[in-house]
Amino acid sequence: MTVKSPVTEKARPQGCTNYRIRQLMRQVSQFYDAELGQAGLKGTQYALMAHVIQLGPLRPGDLAKAMKMDASTLTRNLKPLLDAGWLSRSPGPDGRSRSIAITDAGRDKWRQAREHWKRAQQRINGMLGEDRVMALHSLIDESLDLLAPHEPTGADS
């Protein structure tokens, strides 16, 4: 009865994509936060530290770009990690920029947290099934690519 067309009517998206993603984010992040909380980190902080470890000392702006988040958000997200001594902020080469780096304590903390992260990821894999998680990852990755504002690509001129 909800089908209004007799033949060859293409199905269309129903409901709000935004609300769905938000809801999923709320549910999922609680699992990660519950596990990572045992190591004293939130999911976002774990991810932030992972990027700093991976990308080495770098400027806040570049880090924000890498994580596709607003620079002002990053500034604030850095604060608790700097206060805890897990990251350091030193003057950058350029007088107007800074340099963010992982500290030894930060590296230790992250390695410890990584074990908790693994458990969280395994719980999610278990609840959703690995195939579904992989499908979700693929779909999200594709979507992120399609939504990303195409930057000039080439270094021409």
Which parts of this chain interact with DNA (CB under 7 A)?
A: 22, 26, 29-30, 33-34, 42, 44-45, 59-62, 69-80, 89, 92, 94-98
105 binds, among its own copies, DNA, none (CB under 5 to 8 A by kind): none
Q: What token pair was written down for 39?
A: 């190591």
Cα–Cα distance, 50 to 106 (Å, whole number) = 10
Residues near its own copies (CB under 8 A) are: 10-29, 31-32, 43-44, 47, 67-69, 117, 120-121, 124-125, 127-130, 132-137, 139-144, 146-148
Q: How far is the CB of 91 from its own copies (least distance, A)?
A: 29
Write b or e for each residue in 11-40: b if 16 or more Cβ atoms lie within 10 A of its Cβ, otherwise e: eeeeeeeeeeeeeeeeebeebbbebbeebe
Q: How far is the CB of 65 from DNA (least distance, A)?
A: 9
User: 73 or 97, CB closer to its own copies?
Assistant: 73
- Look at residues 92, 88, 79 and name the one whose alpha carbon lies nearest to residue 107: 88
**Run of H or E residues at 100:** strand 98-102
Cα–Cα distance, 149 to 106 (Å, whole number) = 33
28 binds, among DNA, its own copies, none (CB under 5 to 8 A by kind): its own copies
Cα–Cα distance, 58 to 98 (Å, whole number) = 8
152 binds, among its own copies, DNA, none (CB under 5 to 8 A by kind): none
Q: How far is the CB of 94 from DNA (least distance, A)?
A: 5
Q: How far is the CB of 93 from DNA (least distance, A)?
A: 9
34 binds, among DNA, its own copies, none (CB under 5 to 8 A by kind): DNA
Cα–Cα distance, 32 to 84 (Å, whole number) = 20
